């Protein structure tokens, strides 16, 4: 009797692979297909009309698309770097505290529990030009008597969005870097002190290389999740004013659901998917090499 037996590891991974294939891969294949059609939600038969790479050509020559694309990259770059730096700073601050660390750690994780929609609403209200907390505070303290248009001016709106994004996600970095700081062995630190390193030199040559893998873990986790910014932007400005905070994700949502041009939206969706995959794979690579440098591979 011939019976092919699956290796146990594959058997164990099978449920995960099946679920992900059904809910992620299959729809993505569909969307890949539909990106070659003029599919509109309102006209189901349009799904069967092949128009080749028309949607992609259209996207690539669409200035609105490129503006959103560029803005997304800028937002991600600024936000991720800021989050990393602030997270590092916060972790260092907390690690130096001698009492009440547990409480501080819990507080630090506070923003992680907020649903991104909620963060969106929260900051939409805080930055509201008329009755928002920030303007109220500035005016009551007499710093300005102007109404600052936080969410109405294009540049300020971008700032507000980045602020909200950084507020929610800095804690991911802070908490993981803090874990890294706890894990540093004491010996090299003490050896450096005895060797006459200043605190900056110690940090630069011992602490930093050691926590690098932790930073990459945080980066990898974040890159899996960057699109959560969609929820925040969607609520705070919905791409406005006048598309000046339009990101890839809001553009896709608008094209697909509001304008009902599914085929076109899927074509743009694919670019955002590749962007996400690129970031993810990049940071996983970094993680592996940082790990090997520290001799933690295997």
Partner 1 sequence: MDANRSHRLRAHGLKLAHLMTLFVAMSIICLPGLWIVLNSFRPTVEIMAKPPIWIPNDLNFDNYRAMFAGAGEGGVPVVTYFMNSLIISVTSTAIAILVGMAGGYAFARYRFRGKSAIFVGLMVTRAVPGVALSLPLFIVYARIGIIDTHFGMILTYVAMNVPFTIWLIDGFFRQVPKELAEAAEIDGCTRWQAFWRVEFPVARAGIASAGIFAFLTSWNEYALASQLTRSVTSKTMPVGLLDFTSEFTLNWGGMCALAVLMIIPALVLTFLVQKHLIAGLTFGGVKG
- Measured distance CA(152)–CA(35) in Å, rounded: 34
Q: Judged by CB, which is closer to partner 1: 25, or 74?
A: 25
Interface with partner 1 includes 54 (CB under 8 A)? no
Q: Does 214 bind partner 1 (CB under 8 A)?
A: yes
> Torsion angle of alpha carbons 279, 285, 288, 289, nearest 10°?
-120
* Contact between 189 and partner 1 per CB under 8 A: no
Q: Is 273 in the site for partner 1 (CB under 8 A)?
A: yes
Would you count residue 30 as binding partner 1 (CB under 8 A)? yes
Answer for which of 93, 144, 146, 204 binds partner 1 (CB under 8 A) is: 93
Span near partner 1 by CB under 8 A; candidates 49-57, 58-66, 121-129, 201-209? 121-129
Question: Least distance from C-beta 162 to partner 1, angstroms?
Answer: 14
Task: Determine if 228 is a binding residue for partner 1 (CB under 8 A).
Answer: yes
Tell which positions 1-20 bind partner 1, by CB under 8 A.
Answer: 7-10, 12-17, 19-20
Instruction: Give the residue, chosen from 79, 88, 90, 151, that forms a contact with partner 1 under the rule CB under 8 A.
Output: 90
Question: Which is nearest to 235 in space by CA: 223, 221, 245?
Answer: 245
- Closest to partner 1 by CB, 197 vs 276, is 276
Under DSSP, the state recorded for 42 is T
Give how many residues touch partner 1 by CB under 8 A. 101
Query: Which residues, at least 6 apart from 180, have a Cβ–Cβ distance to it below 8 Å?
Result: 91, 210, 211, 213, 214, 215
Task: Give the binding range for partner 1 (CB under 8 A) out of 63-71, 148-156, 187-195, 286-294.
Answer: 286-294
Which span (56-64, 74-82, 154-162, 287-295) binds partner 1, by CB under 8 A? 287-295
Q: Choose, by CB under 8 A, the member of 175, 181, 206, 236 that binds partner 1.
A: 175
Q: Per CB under 8 A, which region of 56-64, 89-97, 153-161, 185-193 contacts partner 1?
A: 89-97
- Which position has the token pair 């600052």? 148
Closest by CA position to 166, among listed 250, 232, 253, 237: 232
Q: Where does this chain touch partner 1 (CB under 8 A) — which range of 73-81, 152-160, 179-187, 236-244?
A: 179-187
- Residues paired with 40 in a beta bridge: 43
CA 128 → CA 133, 134, 229, 237, distances in Å? Answer: 7, 8, 19, 11
What Cα–Cα distance (Å) separates residue 4 from each residue in 13, 16, 40, 47? 17, 21, 45, 40
| All residues at 6 or more sequence positions from 245 whose CB lies less than 8 Å from its CB, including other chains | 71, 154, 157, 158, 161, 233, 236, 237, 239
Note whether 239 binds partner 1 by CB under 8 A.
no
- The closest alpha carbon to 263, from 66, 55, 28, belongs to 55
**37, 55, 202, 266: which one contacts partner 1 (CB under 8 A)?**
266
């Amino acid at each position: 009797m011939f019976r092919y037996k699956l290796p146990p590891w594959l058997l164990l991974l099978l449920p995960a692979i099946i679920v992900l294939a059904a809910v992620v891969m299959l729809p993505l294949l569909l969307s890949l297909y539909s990106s070659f059609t003029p599919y509109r939600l309102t006209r189901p038969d349009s799904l069967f009309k092949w128009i080749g790479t028309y949607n992609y050509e259209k996207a690539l020559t669409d200035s609105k698309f490129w503006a959103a694309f560029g803005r997304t990259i800028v937002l991600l770059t600024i936000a991720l770097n800021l989050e990393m730096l602030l997270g590092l700073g916060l972790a260092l601050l907390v690690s130096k505290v001698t009492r009440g660390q547990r409480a501080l750690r819990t507080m630090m994780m506070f923003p992680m529990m907020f649903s991104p929609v909620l963060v969106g609403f929260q900051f939409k209200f805080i930055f509201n030009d008329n009755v928002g907390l920030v303007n109220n505070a500035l005016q009551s303290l007499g710093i300005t008597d102007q109404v600052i248009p936080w969410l109405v001016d294009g540049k300020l709106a971008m700032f507000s969005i980045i602020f909200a994004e950084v507020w929610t996600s800095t804690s991911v970095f802070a908490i993981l870097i803090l874990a890294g700081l706890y894990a540093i062995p004491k010996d090299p630190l003490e050896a450096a002190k005895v060797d006459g390193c200043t605190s900056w030199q110690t940090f630069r040559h011992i602490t930093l290389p050691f926590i690098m893998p932790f930073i990459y873990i945080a980066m990898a986790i974040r890159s899996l999740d960057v699109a959560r910014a969609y929820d925040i932007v969607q609520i705070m400005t919905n791409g406005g004013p006048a598309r000046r905070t339009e990101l890839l994700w809001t553009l896709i949502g608008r094209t697909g659901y509001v304008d009902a041009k599914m085929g076109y939206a899927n074509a743009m969706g694919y670019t955002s998917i590749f962007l996400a995959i690129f970031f993810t794979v990049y940071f996983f690579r970094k993680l592996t090499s940082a790990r090997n440098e520290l001799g933690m591979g295997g």
